[in-house]
Amino acid sequence: MIDMFDIKGKVALVTGGSTGIGAMITEALVHAGVKVYISSRNADVLEKFAVEMRKSGECIAIAADLSSVDNIHELVKTLGEKEEKLDILVNNSGASWGAPLGQFPEKGWDKVMNINVKSVFFLTQSLLPMLKASASVDDPSRVINISSIAAVSPNSISAYSYGPSKAAVAQLTKILASDLIKDQILVNAIAPGLFPSKMTAAWDPSMMVKHVPIGRVGRAADIAGLVIYLCSTAGSYMTGNYIPLDGGELVKANMF
């Protein structure tokens, strides 16, 4: 049973891997014996977190702003100089923008779509040679896209581009899964509900928890367990899935 969840020795890239859910995923993979590369725009925060993670295992920071394809290619080039193959790609980098409907700006739409959708596609595309180099029938490569329950929930909280972007991630996951299964690359989407992050930092915790049937926000162990499952032998027959991780929010709202 322990061997079924063993991912020690694999190589992973986690975008947005130094804060929020990304940091939780990075920590889980490092503690599981994975060599983890992390990227984000803030080089100082990224390196500080990587130094902390290196107390437990291997973690290397590569600063990158994934809002442009040129920057994505530069990240892939840097990674390719260090590794010949990639076992796990976690597309976690994300952005949001809140404004009243009548005042919502074009830049608030474009920024969110560029980070949340375009970067997921073009980073995965650019890393295909490294993912294919690692893949086999017995041990496929894994791509995990971080979507959100906002992909299906109409509760926008005035973040009008965020939900549509995460719905696009969910659909893109299915398309990529269909195309890449022939190459032994599995693609799944995790859809978190309420987890601590910079996006939720300004909200009243007591008010937030009222919407979660299980009565608490998500914990690091919740996302860690699902990610390790998807990356291990235990999850090697799963692809194309949109997996809510939300303490029952969608079930209560009859949305899933």
pLDDT tens by residue, 196-227: 877 666 666 667 788 899 999 999 999 999 99
- How confident is residue 239, by pLDDT bands cut at 50, 70 and 90? very high
pLDDT tens-digit readout, 100-155: 999 999 999 999 999 999 999 999 999 999 999 999 999 999 999 999 999 999 88
Q: Taking the model in full, what pTM does it have?
A: 0.95
Question: What does the alpha-carbon distance between residue 32 and residue 143 come to, in Å, rounded to a whole number?
Answer: 17
CATH topology of domain 3-252: Rossmann fold (3.40.50)
d(CA 10, CA 109): 36
Beta strands in the chain (DSSP E): 11-15, 35-39, 59-61, 88-91, 141-146, 185-192, 242-245
Range in 34-48, 184-198, 232-246 the model is least confident about: 184-198
- Measure the CA–CA gap between 85 and 103, rounded to whole angstroms: 45
Identify the helix (H) or strand (E) that includes residue 71.
helix 69-82
The pLDDT value given to residue 211: 82
Of 195, 211, 174, the closest CA to residue 92 belongs to: 195
CB 37 within 8 A of CB 54: no
- 59-99: pLDDT as tens digits: 999 999 999 999 999 999 999 999 999 999 999 999 999 99
Active site residue 242: no
Residues 202, 199: Cα–Cα separation, whole Å: 7
Each domain of the chain, given as residue ranges in start order, spans 3-252
Choosing from 162, 229, 237, 242, the catalytic residue is 162
Cα–Cα distance for residue pair 188/146, rounded to 1 Å: 9
